[in-house]
């Protein structure tokens, strides 16, 4: 279980996350919904322990292990992975090398080609370079293949569909299904209804808070009704806030 207790994050005296408390249970798929700028990627950065996000209030634990103070590599060793909205480019490294983490991991050819197939890439891609010659969508697919191979305990997917054509929702579904079957806890950050619907549970974020939680159906309906027309981004008005108004 990944537990977040009263997570608070400020940047330049601006409060970005306010006392967020969540328990992510093992093996479940979660969707985090919310408009631009409500703090979703910040939350991802805090869970992963990215350098700019280490100075925060509150505590987080993976089972009983406190994560506060641990860096990205230490958290990665504990099984936490972040699939970025914009995947990284590596000059001079092939997809085959990237997926084997430069030889540190030893997946079989079959495992690698199976992961590539799952994300819709043929084995010819193994020799391609992870650089600007790959399209944005291809890079994203490579990143998804890498997450599938790693079998993380916790994977945060920041906009898993970003840069990927909407015709490929089925591919993303297959990736999420594979992660779920392998026992990963999946936290998907998304604006897209079809993606949110793949989750077991959903949270709606607004103004650095959890506004509501429930089934994806409930939360998507709530989001469409209240957030589409909301002009109080980060300042929800007339809405009862989970945990109260106090900062």
Ligand X SMILES: Nc1ncnc2c1ncn2[C@@H]1O[C@H](COP(=O)(O)OP(=O)(O)OP(=O)(O)O)[C@@H](O)[C@H]1O
Residue with smaller CB distance to ligand X, 36 or 246:
36
Residue with smaller CB distance to ligand X, 19 or 113:
19
**SS3 call for 21:** strand
Of the candidate spans 11-19, 54-62, 73-81, 213-221, the one that interacts with ligand X by CB under 6 A turns out to be 11-19
d(CA 131, CA 134): 6
Residue with smaller CB distance to ligand X, 35 or 100:
35
Complete edge-to-edge strand list for the sheet that includes strand 209-214: 80-83, 154-158, 185-190, 29-33, 201-206, 209-214
141 near ligand X, rule: CB under 6 A: no
Name the phi and psi angles at 8, rounded to 5. Answer: -135, 135
Q: Which of 36, 133, 229, 231 binds ligand X (CB under 6 A)?
A: 36
Residue 73 falls in which region: left (phi positive, over 0), alpha (psi -120 to 50) or beta: alpha
11 near ligand X, rule: CB under 6 A: yes
Kindly report the number of other CB atoms within 10 A of residue 61's CB atom.
15
Least distance (Å) from ligand X to the CB of residue 242?
17
Q: Check: CB of residue 82 under 8 Å from CB of residue 156.
A: yes
Number of residues that bind ligand X (CB under 6 A): 12
Residue with smaller CB distance to ligand X, 101 or 239:
239
38 near ligand X, rule: CB under 6 A: yes
16 near ligand X, rule: CB under 6 A: yes
List residues near ligand X by CB under 6 A: 11-12, 16, 34, 36-42, 52
């Amino acid at each position: 279980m990944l537990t977040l207790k009263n997570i608070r994050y400020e940047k330049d005296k601006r409060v970005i996350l306010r006392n967020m408390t969540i328990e992510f249970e093992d093996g479940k798929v979660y969707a985090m919904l919310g408009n631009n700028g409500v703090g979703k990627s910040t939350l991802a950065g805090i869970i992963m322990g990215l350098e700019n996000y280490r100075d925060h209030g509150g505590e987080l634990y993976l089972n009983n292990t406190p994560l506060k103070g641990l860096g990205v590599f230490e958290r990665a060793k504990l099984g936490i992975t972040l699939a970025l909205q914009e995947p990284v480019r590596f000059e001079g490294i092939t997809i085959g090398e990237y997926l084997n983490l430069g030889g540190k991991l030893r997946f079989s050819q079959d495992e690698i080609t199976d992961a590539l197939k799952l994300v819709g890439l043929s084995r010819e891609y193994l020799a391609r370079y992870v650089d600007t010659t790959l399209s944005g969508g291809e890079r994203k697919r490579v990143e998804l293949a890498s997450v599938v191979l790693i079998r993380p305990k916790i994977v945060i997917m920041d906009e898993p569909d970003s840069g990927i054509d909407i015709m490929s929702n089925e591919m993303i579904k297959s990736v999420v299904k594979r992660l779920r079957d392998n026992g990963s806890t999946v936290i998907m950050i998304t604006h897209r209804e079809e993606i949110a619907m793949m989750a077991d549970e959903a949270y709606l974020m607004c103004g650095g808070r959890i506004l509501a939680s429930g089934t994806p159906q409930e939360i998507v309906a709530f989001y469409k009704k209240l957030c589409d027309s909301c002009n109080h981004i980060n300042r929800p008005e007339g809405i009862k806030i989970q945990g109260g108004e106090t900062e």
